[in-house]
Amino acid sequence: MRTPHARFSSGLLRTSATLPLLGAILLPAAIAHASGFSLNEMSAASVGNAHAGGAAAAEDLGTIYYNPAGLSRMSGKQFMLVGSAIRTSAKFSNAGSTSALGTAASGGNGDDAGGWAAVPAVYFAMDIAPQLRFGIGLQSPFGLKTEYDAGWVGRYQALKSDMKTLNINPALSYKLNDTVALGAGISVEYIDVELSKAIDFGTICVASIGPGACAPLGFLPQARDGRATVKGNDWGFGFNLGALLTPNEATRIGIAYRSRIKHKLSGDASYDKPAGLPAPLAGAASFTNTGVSADVTLPESLSVSGHFDVNPRWTVMGDVSWMRWGQFNELRIRFANGAADSVTPEQWRNTVRVAVAANYRYNDAWKLRAGLAYDPTPVEDRFRTPRIPDGDRTWLSFGVQFKPTPQDAWDFGYTHLFMKDGPLNKTETGAGTLRGNYDSQVDILSVQYSRSF
């Protein structure tokens, strides 16, 4: 039988394995706004097109992430700075949640688990040789944050989930000829994790010591909560590859692959215990601060994109992107205090995201963008958790580019994500059953400045 510590760490680190977040300078982000826990805001221009044609557009330095072969379409030195303001909303409605004892769970709906976030990215590129270019970007392909009120009905399953990552992505492109260009890059990714949940010391006290000793001290079920927090971090390494085909002046086809990244998270678990906790529980090994570790593999992805100039003013784009979420079958957690490994199933599914877009060039200074995408969730209803209340997404995007000079460009992109309601019916040992539904949506506003030297 696993200890309460082991049960908690299993659920908590299971999420830490799957929630890294953007921040070139480790800024906080909000609930993930692409399927699962991925982030795509590497370029405001791409946001305006719902990321359609990302591997083929090669319009700006965001191509370092989307397809490094796209650097071959540029020359000289370029710099680009991107900032995205993201407003997420995830509202839970309770529908008969129960405690570990089978009684009605106390607490509210947790308010809005989402919020505002600022997500930056920065890039630089230059020529090395006539057909060889170098670029480097700082961004993150994954991320999520959720935070609930301390007294909400699901507090024994989740309170705060906060992940930050910094991904450093140097890349090279080589132009073989007028038709074919190749690109490759490496990823050096730092991940930092903080997760917490409440502990029902009232129920634990009554169950382990007895109501006669606990009730006079005020330790009754759902009445005296503590808190457990897990923190961990790691550096991991991966790579990205790309090819850009230009069969004629009007057509580009891009193929891009990003590898999986393996992380070996290490950190510690700490416990905040309520005052007056009986000595047998206050000194129990199950609630003693300890080290934790977990092996985590973030999924690889493959994208195929098309970019076609219908005429000098109109361009249409399309994209199909596959992500191997299905490798999340199991997470094994190890405890430094000698507790047995905890194995948690992660039965996610691979996903295929599809997007289409169109651009209209009004003149040399102004370009208008629009895009539409369908982004399915990898999470089946029966595996949804309050830490990742994920659902299918439909993207509706608009954007505009303004070029005041041939060397300077401003891009603005806006996206609204319509998210399918997410039913939740999750039972955790010692935490009861959280039953209800999520109503979620996301708004993204991205701004970028590009400069050629």
3-state secondary structure the chain: CCCHHHHHHHHHHHHHCCCCCCCCCCCCCCCCCCCCCECCCCCHHHHHCCCCCHHHHCCCCCHHHHCHHHHHHCCCCEEEEEEEEEEEEEEEEECCCECCCCCECCCECCCECCEEEEEEEEEEEEEEECCEEEEEEEECCECCEEECCCCECCCCCCCEEEEEEEEEEEEEEEECCCCEEEEEEEEEEEEEEEEEEEEEHHHHHHHHCCHHHHHHHCCCCCCCEEEEEEEEEEEEEEEEEEEEEEEECCEEEEEEEECCEEEEEEEEEEEECCCCCCHHHHCCHHHCCEEEEEEEEECCEEEEEEEEECCCCEEEEEEEEEECHHHCCEEEEEECCCCCCEEEECCCCCEEEEEEEEEEECCCCEEEEEEEEEECCCCCHHHCCCCCCCCCEEEEEEEEEEEEECCEEEEEEEEEEEECCEEEEEEECCCEEEEEEEEEEEEEEEEEEEEEC
Locate tokens 């092996």: which residue? 295
What single letter denotes the amino acid at residue 357? Answer: A
Q: Looking at the predicted structure, is the pLDDT value of residue 255 above 80?
A: yes
Pairing of strands 132-139, 145-147: unpaired
Q: Looking at the predicted structure, is the pLDDT value of residue 19 above 50?
A: no
Give the mean pLDDT of 186-192.
94
Give the percent of the chain with pLDDT over 70.
90
What confidence category does residue 342 fall into, taking pLDDT thresholds of 50, 70 and 90?
low
From the CB of residue 270, how many other CB atoms can be counted at a distance below 10 Å?
Answer: 15
Q: Looking at the predicted structure, is the pLDDT value of residue 32 above 90?
A: no
Mean pLDDT of the chain: 88
Give the mean pLDDT of 196-225.
93
The domain in which residue 121 lies consists of: 4-452
Q: Residue 195: what pLDDT? A: 85
What single letter denotes the amino acid at residue 248? Answer: N
pLDDT digits (tens, 9 = 90+) for 276-327: 999 989 888 888 888 988 787 889 999 999 999 999 999 999 999 999 988 8
From the CB of residue 360, how many other CB atoms can be counted at a distance below 10 Å?
Answer: 12
Q: Looking at the predicted structure, is the pLDDT value of residue 27 above 50?
A: no
pLDDT digits (tens, 9 = 90+) for 72-103: 999 999 999 999 998 999 999 999 999 999 99
Contacts for 90 with CB less than 8 Å, ≥ 6 apart: 31, 112, 113, 114, 146, 389, 438, 439, 440
Q: Looking at the predicted structure, is the pLDDT value of residue 10 above 50?
A: no
Q: Residue 128: what pLDDT? A: 97
What confidence category does residue 247 fall into, taking pLDDT thresholds of 50, 70 and 90?
very high
Q: Looking at the predicted structure, is the pLDDT value of residue 3 above 70?
A: no
pLDDT digits (tens, 9 = 90+) for 118-128: 889 999 999 99
Q: Residue 143: what pLDDT? A: 82
Q: Residue 37: what pLDDT? A: 79
Closest by alpha carbon to 301, among 371, 391, 378? 378
Give the mean pLDDT of 51-65.
96
Lowest mean pLDDT among 205-209, 262-266, 271-275, 329-333: 329-333
Q: Residue 142: what pLDDT? A: 85
Give the percent of the chain with pLDDT over 90.
69
The domain that holds 51 is classified in CATH as 2.40.160.60
Q: Residue 307: what pLDDT? A: 98
What confidence category does residue 395 fall into, taking pLDDT thresholds of 50, 70 and 90?
very high
Q: How many domains is the chain partitioned into structurally?
A: 1
Q: For the whole model, what pTM was predicted?
A: 0.87
Give the mean pLDDT of 123-143.
94
Q: Residue 163: what pLDDT? A: 81
Q: Residue 129: what pLDDT? A: 95
What confidence category does residue 117 fall into, taking pLDDT thresholds of 50, 70 and 90?
confident
pLDDT digits (tens, 9 = 90+) for 402-428: 999 999 999 999 999 999 999 999 888
Q: Looking at the predicted structure, is the pLDDT value of residue 162 above 80?
A: yes
